[in-house]
């Protein structure tokens, strides 16, 4: 087990720069997620750590040792592919024992390790079957077993859950995290699914177009997005143009159209500096929709429901407030609002964060 460091790593494919200026530390034993839309370079990073691609520039360190020039088969990393990549001509037992063979483990030792790995992924007794005889979820577990049985220094997971259907995905999410916790291996997990990232990670690295946008714990990236990309990528956010109306030691007063002045704690407007205007970010689920004229807590504005997207427990409303359209996701308490209803929208200043105007 070991931590992983990327130092100023860059990778180009011909004229295409896949990733650049990467300075990332993956702490020993942690579960770190690379989160970003398709094509942002997540797989490229994993493949560079695994040795399947060579970085164009920069250093990759595992356990403090530079491994740029170490060939793939000597790196001792476990890589789990999105499409499982099990060997179809080998039994499950042979698949899992594949890496053991090259580590001088064979015979009954190997069989015992294979059995232990199958127990960890909770699929005991399937040694003699072929991959095609297992379901997608089971194959994914085998792929995981094959990667962890070699006791890798680092476990690399490239969208391992995205080929599974929704229910299984959530189940495997919990289980994968539990397995990682149990064996304590440094893990780098790649996904484009924000809820997966939020649910599983110790640390999330949000990426876009080959660059790191924000690094932080799930709550941090979720509650205090560093820029508009992060704000929008992790769920729905409303982004409003605001003017600085005044400030004191603890808070900044921001003039929000139609709502009036909102006093946001300074800590949540750190990026604003001395600027006179900025952009206020508030998540759709943090805005509160109240019956018209209701005097709730927070800063209020009047609006009209334009459209409702009913989702069972919650509803997503599109609400017109003056010339702004806000997205609001609220739990349904009793009856949902309908399109055309006049409503009051409430903002709690503590839920706001402020970005620079050009962010």
Partner 1 sequence: MADADAALDRRPWFLLAPALLAIAFLVIVPMSFILVYSFYENVDLAVDKVAFQFSNWQALFHDSYYRVAIWKTLRLSVIVTMLAAVLGYIPAYFIAMTTFRHRWLLLLLLILPFWVSFIIRTMSWIHILGNEGALNGILMWLGLIQAPLQMMYQEGTVIIGFLHVFLPYMILNVYVSLEGIDRNLEPAARTLGATPWQAFREVTLPLSMPGLAAGCLLVFVLTGGSYVTPLILGGPRDFLFGNLIHDAVVSELNWPMGATLSFTLLVLLGLVVVAYSRVMGLNQLSKAFR
Ligand X SMILES: Nc1ncnc2c1ncn2[C@@H]1O[C@H](COP(=O)(O)OP(=O)(O)O)[C@@H](O)[C@H]1O
The C-alpha atoms of residue 203 and residue 123 are separated, in whole angstroms, by 29
* 69 touches partner 1 (CB under 8 A): no
- Quick note: the x/- pattern for partner 1 over 121-160, rule CB under 8 A, is ---------x-x-------------x---x----------
Beta-strand (E) ranges in the chain? 4-13, 16-26, 31-35, 57-62, 65-66, 77-80, 154-158, 186-191, 203-208, 211-216, 237-247, 251-256, 260-265, 277-283, 288-291, 299-311, 314-321, 324-331, 342-347, 353-356
Among 39-47, 181-189, 291-299, 302-310, the segment contacting ligand X (CB under 6 A):
39-47
Binding status of residue 15 toward ligand X by CB under 6 A: no
With CB under 5 to 8 Å by kind, the binding choice for 44 among ligand X, Mg ion, partner 1, none is: ligand X
Q: Does 43 bind Mg ion (CB under 5 A)?
A: yes
Number of CB atoms found within 10 A of residue 155's CB: 24
CA dihedral 128, 139, 49, 11 (to 10 degrees): 130
42 counts as binding ligand X under rule CB under 6 A: yes
Between 43 and 140, name the residue whose CB sits nearer to Mg ion. 43
189 binds partner 1 (CB under 8 A): no
CA atoms of 301 and 261, how far apart (whole Å): 11
Residues constituting the chain: 359
Q: Which is nearer to partner 1, 7 or 129 (CB)?
A: 129
Q: Which of 30, 32, 33, 44 binds ligand X (CB under 6 A)?
A: 44
Return the number of other C-beta atoms located less than 10 Å from residue 32's C-beta: 24
Q: Which stretch binds Mg ion (CB under 5 A): 36-44, 64-72, 206-214, 272-280?
A: 36-44
The verdict on 359 binding ligand X (CB under 6 A) reads no
- The residues, any chain, with a CB within 8 Å of residue 302's CB and separated by 6 or more, are 258, 292, 321, 342, 343, 344, 345
Binding residues vs ligand X (CB under 6 A): 13, 16, 18, 36, 38-44
Binding residues vs partner 1 (CB under 8 A): 50-52, 71-79, 81, 83, 85, 87-89, 98-99, 101-103, 130, 132, 146, 150
Binding residues vs Mg ion (CB under 5 A): 43
């Amino acid at each position: 087990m070991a931590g992983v460091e990327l130092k100023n790593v860059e990778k180009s494919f011909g004229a295409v720069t896949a990733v650049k200026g990467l300075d990332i530390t993956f702490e020993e034993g942690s579960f770190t997620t690379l989160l970003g839309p398709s094509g942002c370079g997540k797989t490229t990073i994993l493949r560079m750590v695994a040795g399947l691609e060579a970085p164009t520039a920069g250093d990759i360190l595992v356990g403090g040792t530079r491994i740029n020039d170490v060939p793939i088969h000597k790196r001792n990393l476990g890589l789990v592919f999105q499409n499982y990549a099990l060997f179809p001509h080998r039994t499950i037992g042979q698949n899992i024992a594949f890496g053991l063979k090259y580590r001088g483990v064979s015979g009954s030792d190997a069989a015992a390790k294979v059995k232990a790995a199958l127990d960890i992924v909770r699929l005991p007794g399937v040694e003699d079957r072929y991959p095609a005889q297992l379901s997608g979820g089971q194959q994914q577990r085998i792929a995981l077993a094959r990667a962890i049985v070699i006791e890798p220094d680092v476990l690399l997971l490239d969208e391992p859950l995205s080929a599974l259907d929704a229910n299984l995905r959530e189940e495997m999410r919990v289980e994968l995290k539990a397995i990682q916790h149990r064996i304590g291996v440094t893990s780098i997990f790649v996904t484009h699914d924000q809820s997966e990232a939020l649910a599983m990670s110790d640390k999330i690295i949000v990426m876009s177009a080959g660059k790191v946008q924000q690094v932080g714990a799930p709550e941090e990236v979720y509650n205090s997005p560093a820029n508009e990309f992060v704000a929008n990528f992790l769920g729905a956010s409303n982004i409003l143009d605001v003017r600085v109306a005044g400030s004191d030691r603890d808070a900044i007063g921001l003039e929000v159209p139609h709502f009036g002045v909102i006093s946001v704690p300074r800590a949540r407007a750190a990026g604003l500096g001395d600027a006179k205007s900025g952009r206020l970010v508030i998540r759709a689920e943090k805005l509160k929709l109240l019956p018209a004229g209701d005097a709730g807590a927070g800063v209020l504005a009047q609006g009209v429901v334009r459209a409702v997207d009913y989702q069972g427990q919650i509803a997503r409303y599109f609400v017109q407030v003056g010339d702004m359209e806000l997205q609001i996701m609220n739990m349904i308490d009793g009856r949902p609002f309908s399109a055309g209803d006049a409503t009051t929208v409430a903002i709690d200043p503590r839920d706001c964060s402020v970005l620079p105007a050009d962010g």
